[in-house]
Chain A
Amino acid sequence: MTAIISVRDLRKTFRVLVRRPGLGGSIANLFAPHYRSVQAVEGVSFSLQAGELVGYLGPNGAGKSTTIKVLTGLLVPTGGEVRVDGQVPWEKRERYVKGIGVVFGNRPTLWWDLPVIDSLELLQPMYDIPAERFRYNLVEFKRMLELDEFINTPVRSLSLGQRMRADLCAALLHEPKLLFLDEPTIGLDVVAKEQIRRFVLDINHRRGVTVLLTTHDLTDVERLCERVMILDHGKLLYDGTLAALNGRFESAWTLKVDFEEEYPDVSVAGLPAPQRVGRQALYLFNHRELNTAELVQQLMARFQVVDLEVRRPPLEETIRRIYAEQLLTK
């Protein structure tokens, strides 16, 4: 199987005008502008197979949006090779964008002053969507995203969640093979987020749409992605399954145990002394060295146990540590 997206050594450098302060500075700016380069993406390579749903993660300013903008043909990269579905995105952009769907969470993609339905219907001639496919898709997406309640409202008066649903629908009406989502759940409430996730999953499963998704909400990632890529300061630090990432970097799991009585010593060899509150004890253990079953067996063998609760650290915690302690760069 060949990759649907392949990116080799992608680089993007922005030139930013440095404004010098003061009146003298401003005159200098006018005649001898001074530029600073910002390396947003520095040599990123990866590929996606058709049908994958991949999370593209990284702290603020890592270069995620920049990558997406290159992949969608908005930006011409400074260097590197990009092929998406056999095409170079920025070369024949108008033809290329017919085959992709894009949603930027922080900006609307529909016509601001038009009612949602007019905006959607404009897409049919624009993308040359066969009329019956258009109808069919519209009906289906309207149902899945519950668009009917606001379909006649102008886009500018929609709530954020409504707008995102409309944007998603718009991005998919022309049945693209690829969907790029840049923070699609930003600023949404729990219910709206879940609705969006279900929709993306469904599109990926039933229609086989390949999805590349950036997000800061790790619940999105847990719910949607098997594979994740982590980017920081323009460099790709990790590319692999979520499970493997957890395997490598997850911090200690916790086991909460309620004992029958208050034993004088409940410590386990090789583990730090548990925190104790009455008959309760809290063990921290490294899941890579000791699995839960073994630990539980040990405890059951020595004590009368009433209740057990295992807690895995949230993905959020793992990722936070990766960013903050720069675990991947070491």
Chain B
Amino acid sequence: METMRLYLRVMKLSILQQVTYRTALLAGLATNFFFGLLRAAVLLALFQVQPVVNGMTQAEGLTFVAFSQALIAFLFIFGTYDVMNTVYTGSIGADLARPMDLFFYWMARDFGASLVNLVIRGVVLVAVFSVFYPVVMPATIGQWGVGLVSLLLGWGVNYAFRFLVNLTAFWTPDARGIGRAAYTMLMMFSGFLMPMRLYPDWFSRLVALTPFPSTFNTPMEIFMGLLKGPEVIPALITQVGWLVALWLLARVVLRRGLSKLVIQGG
């Protein structure tokens, strides 16, 4: 309970800090929106060829674009390099001296920033976007609820993956380069660039074997009702499965990394 409060404090601090970057927030919003317009144009042109593709309508495609632009900041689509930076600068020492678990400490920090980004960049962007293009919203309260749960699970999977990428800094001085490649995979296979449904079937089936669709594509499909009824259950289970698996992996890797850090320091 005590530690829980600690993490909430961290999260609150992170929220306050994020709010101070307001100019960046607004500029980020404008940039996301502009790219949203460009991507919407591409998608519209695609759907001109074929009105319904693999069960997805033009409106749903546009919604996908709106949300992917809206959630860039919430999901840190372009990746984060904070933890590896603390490894390289040595300030990780100070973080380790705190009575907190590194995984949850950074989770609290990231989540605080994400919440701010969700409200300021996400909600506003979807609202503005819906002025220009149709945006499909869930039909029932239930669908809203499940969609949100799925989004949070997606955030967790995404966080665990980013944390793991950052941990490579314990082993190599080139974690940034590794990160850039890893986050590219995240961007492409999560459905951020294009909804997975629009890719050829063989490709989406292959990607479905990775944790990446769980971060963004799955929440979106549930949210828009592309997955409904009994299809939702296995999707959620897959998300939880990846979350637990990556979290456990992160724990093991972190322990290994830290022991290495100590040996080096001695």
| Contact between A and B in the complex (any CB pair below 8 Å) | yes
- Most B CB contacts (10 A, CB to CB) among A23, A26, A27 go to A26
Chain B CB within 8 A of A32 CB: no
| CA A26 to CA B19, docked complex, whole Å | 10
Chain B CB within 8 A of A190 CB: no
Which residues of B are found within 8 Å of A191, using beta-carbon distances?
none
Chain B CB within 8 A of A30 CB: yes
| CA A27 to CA B20, docked complex, whole Å | 11
Chain A CB within 8 A of B23 CB: yes
Is the beta-carbon distance between B19 and A23 smaller than 8 angstroms? yes
B 238-254 contacts with A by CB, 8 A: none
Interface size class of A (residues with CB under 8 A): under 10
| CA A26 to CA B21, docked complex, whole Å | 9
A 17-42 contacts with B by CB, 8 A: 23, 26-27, 30
Is the beta-carbon distance between A30 and B26 smaller than 8 angstroms? yes
B 216-262 contacts with A by CB, 8 A: none
Which residues of A are found within 8 Å of B22, using beta-carbon distances?
23, 26-27, 30
| CA A30 to CA B19, docked complex, whole Å | 14
Which residues of B are found within 8 Å of A23, using beta-carbon distances?
19, 22
In the complex, residue of chain B having the shortest beta-carbon distance to the beta carbon of A30 = B23
CB A81 to nearest CB in B, in angstroms, measures: 39
CB A265 to nearest CB in B, in angstroms, measures: 67
Which residues of A are found within 8 Å of B19, using beta-carbon distances?
23
In the complex, residue of chain A having the shortest beta-carbon distance to the beta carbon of B19 = A23
CB B52 to nearest CB in A, in angstroms, measures: 43
In the complex, residue of chain A having the shortest beta-carbon distance to the beta carbon of B25 = A26
| CA A201 to CA B23, docked complex, whole Å | 51
| CA A23 to CA B22, docked complex, whole Å | 8
| CA A30 to CA B26, docked complex, whole Å | 10
| CA A26 to CA B120, docked complex, whole Å | 14
Which residues of B are found within 8 Å of A26, using beta-carbon distances?
20, 22-23
Which residues of B are found within 8 Å of A30, using beta-carbon distances?
22-23, 26
| CA A27 to CA B22, docked complex, whole Å | 8
B 75-92 contacts with A by CB, 8 A: none
| CA A30 to CA B22, docked complex, whole Å | 9
| CA A27 to CA B19, docked complex, whole Å | 12
Return the CB mask of B15-53 against A: 1 if under 8 Å, else 0.
Answer: 000011011001000000000000000000000000000
In the complex, residue of chain A having the shortest beta-carbon distance to the beta carbon of B26 = A30
CB B76 to nearest CB in A, in angstroms, measures: 23
| CA A30 to CA B24, docked complex, whole Å | 11
| CA A27 to CA B29, docked complex, whole Å | 14
Which residues of A are found within 8 Å of B20, using beta-carbon distances?
26
| CA A30 to CA B23, docked complex, whole Å | 7
Which residues of A are found within 8 Å of B26, using beta-carbon distances?
30
Which residues of A are found within 8 Å of B23, using beta-carbon distances?
26, 30
- Most A CB contacts (10 A, CB to CB) among B19, B22, B26 go to B22
CB A20 to nearest CB in B, in angstroms, measures: 12
CB A226 to nearest CB in B, in angstroms, measures: 48
| CA A75 to CA B22, docked complex, whole Å | 31
In the complex, residue of chain B having the shortest beta-carbon distance to the beta carbon of A25 = B22
In the complex, residue of chain B having the shortest beta-carbon distance to the beta carbon of A26 = B22
CB A117 to nearest CB in B, in angstroms, measures: 28
| CA A83 to CA B26, docked complex, whole Å | 46
| CA A23 to CA B20, docked complex, whole Å | 8
CB A2 to nearest CB in B, in angstroms, measures: 51
| CA A1 to CA B20, docked complex, whole Å | 58
In the complex, residue of chain B having the shortest beta-carbon distance to the beta carbon of A21 = B20
CB B28 to nearest CB in A, in angstroms, measures: 14
In the complex, residue of chain A having the shortest beta-carbon distance to the beta carbon of B22 = A26
In the complex, residue of chain A having the shortest beta-carbon distance to the beta carbon of B23 = A30
In the complex, residue of chain B having the shortest beta-carbon distance to the beta carbon of A29 = B23
A 67-99 contacts with B by CB, 8 A: none
| CA A23 to CA B119, docked complex, whole Å | 14
CB A242 to nearest CB in B, in angstroms, measures: 47
CB A21 to nearest CB in B, in angstroms, measures: 10
| CA A208 to CA B22, docked complex, whole Å | 55
| CA A27 to CA B23, docked complex, whole Å | 8
Which residues of B are found within 8 Å of A27, using beta-carbon distances?
22
| CA A189 to CA B19, docked complex, whole Å | 44
| CA A23 to CA B19, docked complex, whole Å | 8
| CA A17 to CA B4, docked complex, whole Å | 40
| CA A26 to CA B26, docked complex, whole Å | 11
CB B21 to nearest CB in A, in angstroms, measures: 10
CB B193 to nearest CB in A, in angstroms, measures: 32
CB A211 to nearest CB in B, in angstroms, measures: 40
Return the CB mask of B148-162 against A: 1 if under 8 Å, else 0.
Answer: 000000000000000
CB A28 to nearest CB in B, in angstroms, measures: 11
A-B contact pairs, 9 of them (CB 8 A): A23-B19, A23-B22, A26-B20, A26-B22, A26-B23, A27-B22, A30-B22, A30-B23, A30-B26
Starting from the known contacts A23-B19, A26-B23, 7 additional A-B residue pairs (CB-CB under 8 Å) come to A23-B22, A26-B20, A26-B22, A27-B22, A30-B22, A30-B23, A30-B26
The 9 closest A-B pairs by CB, nearest first: A26-B22, A30-B23, A23-B19, A23-B22, A30-B26, A27-B22, A26-B23, A30-B22, A26-B20
